[in-house]
Amino acid sequence: MLLAFRQFPRLARQRRASIVESDLPAALRSLATQLCMRISFEQALRNVGAAGYACSPEFSSIADDVHHGASLREALAASAERIDSITYKRAMSSLSSIYEQGGGGAMLKRLADDLVSQQLSAERHFSSRLALASLLFIAAACIVPSLLLAYLLVGSSFLSLSVQPLEVWLLFLVGFPAVDLAIIIYLSLGAPLQNSSRSLPPPLSQVEFSLIGRVAGLSPTSLRNRLALLVAFGLLASLLLFSSGRPLPAALLLALPFLCYFYLHYLLERRNSEIEKYLPDALLQASSLEAGTRADAMLDSLAHSGYGPLSEEFAQVRNSVKAGASVPNALNAMASRSQSLLLRRTAWLMAAGYSVGTDAYSSLREAADDMLSVFSLMRERSASSSLQKYTLLAGAILVPLILGTLLSSILQLDITSFTFNASDSANAQAIHDAAAGAAPFYLLIYALLSSLLMAQLEGSWRRFLPYAIILAPLSLALFELARTQPLFAVIA
């Protein structure tokens, strides 16, 4: 543990570099595609800076430095100095060489492919280390608390162990959670960064209600009013049920509006996942059309290709074009109403191709290659984070079962039947009561920490609350079940 704490400063310094490196290959591919479309180098840098990549702020800073009079070489060198990453410095050096000596987008694409290979290798290396780290987390979160709990209970019953009940509470509420939190932070800082491909609007904003309202088939105002009525009904009904002595139905009714809200978010995320899943296929299909094919024919082909929500989006673009809108404006409108950054970047690239008058079909194939490289990284990251999530879920089941069974087995002993004096017997009973009271709070803290880490692994902090709503009651229910019906007794 001491070694882990000593490595925190180094890992924190590397975190910013990891953030910038995370989607640097996709940004370089986009830059290369724009150069092939005869867009100026400075404008391409500014476009990448506005595209929502993790490295976009740095590209925006480079473009701003150039705008304020610095040479592009100086701006690239200054950016390389700000980021403590050999990979990023190499990319900036390559950009400087391409700008001064030429080489076009082909050199940038080779560099992007090399970076993708490095990131895939790093993901596999992290997966191999994560297996051991997951076992250590289970040991620190489950085995060590169980052994110490057994020592406290048995020692106070048979060995006249002198421990104060306050120390037991501090151990469960401060000591064990601090160790768990330290391991979680260490794993989080050491893990390759997983950026979300979605741009999340502010919670309960008009934009958010517009997005989830499209999924529910309701206007934002209607959806907001219905959720408000559901909250009022749930609050009133839960108060009536709680006052009548039925807390469980009251809790369920109180949670009903939140469950509906999260369910609509789940439907929205599933729709965006389907859009992104078919996006490379749609782009490859569009790029296979012959040069000179009219835009409305290409959009009509995509609208009737059975790509689900993605075909619906292109159908809206086609209808806008038929109604008189220009192709770039219709594509930009599709980007503005989408939550997917991948679809936004693709729509912008298609619009830029038509705006500058270049062959848009070749740019679509480049965009498809970008999507495929991004998806390969996303699959690797999902595989490496799945092991950690399953470990946390297993801990949420094992920890309450073991602690509950241990408490039930030892607390069933009649400590007054042993040869203790009155003070020893009272002290042992106080330790038992403190352990029985503190263990559920430790389980609650563990569930909250696990929910926080799983939400971070999935790249969406909003998933913390749904995970917490599921894991916290599950852990407490399993703990209470193991206390009232011991596991060993059931097996026997």
Task: Enumerate the β-bridge partners of residue 198.
Answer: 340
Largest CA distance in the chain: 98
How confident is the model over 353-393, as pLDDT tens digits?
A: 676 665 555 666 766 766 666 666 666 666 666 767 777 77
13: tokens are 């310094």
Task: Enumerate the β-bridge partners of residue 340.
Answer: 198
Judge whether 8 and 186 are in contact, CB under 8 Å: yes
From first to last of its 492 residues, the chain has per-residue pLDDT tens of 444 455 555 655 666 677 777 778 878 877 877 777 777 788 888 888 877 777 888 888 888 888 888 888 888 888 888 887 888 888 888 888 887 776 666 777 777 778 777 777 777 777 776 667 767 777 777 778 877 777 776 666 666 666 777 888 888 888 888 887 777 777 666 665 555 555 566 666 777 777 777 777 778 788 888 888 888 888 888 888 777 777 667 777 777 787 788 788 778 878 888 887 888 788 777 777 655 667 777 788 888 888 888 888 888 888 888 888 888 888 888 877 777 777 887 787 777 767 666 555 566 676 676 666 666 666 666 666 676 777 777 777 888 888 888 777 766 665 555 545 556 567 667 777 787 788 888 888 888 888 877 776 666 667 787 788 888 888 888 888 888 775 555 444
Distances (CA, A) of 28 to 38, 45, 49, 91, 107: 15, 10, 11, 9, 10
How confident is the model over 157-175, as pLDDT tens digits?
A: 666 666 777 888 888 888 8
Radius of gyration of the chain (CA): 29
Predicted confidence at residue 491, as pLDDT, reads 45
Q: Can you state the angle between helices 24-36 and 360-411, rounded to 10 degrees?
A: 170
Please tell me the distance from the alpha carbon of residue 240 to that of residue 220, in angstroms, as a whole number: 30
Judge whether 53 and 344 are in contact, CB under 8 Å: no
Instruction: State the amino acid at position 372 in one-letter form.
Output: L
Judge whether 168 and 407 are in contact, CB under 8 Å: no
Sorted by sequence, the CB contacts under 8 Å of residue 355 that are 6+ apart come out as 328
Q: Does domain 14-118 have CATH number 1.10.260?
A: no
Chain centroid offset of residue 273 CA: 14
Predicted confidence at residue 197, as pLDDT, reads 52
Judge whether 158 and 418 are in contact, CB under 8 Å: yes
Write down the number of H helices and E strands in the chain. 21, 0
CB-CB neighbours of 201 under 10 Å: 15
Predicted confidence at residue 102, as pLDDT, reads 66
- The domain limits of the chain are 14-118, 124-195+375-491, 206-273
Please tell me the distance from the alpha carbon of residue 410 to that of residue 435, in angstroms, as a whole number: 11
Please tell me the distance from the alpha carbon of residue 454 to that of residue 477, in angstroms, as a whole number: 21
164: tokens are 């104060």
Side-chain half-sphere CA neighbours of 393 within 13 A: 10
Q: What is the pTM of this model?
A: 0.65
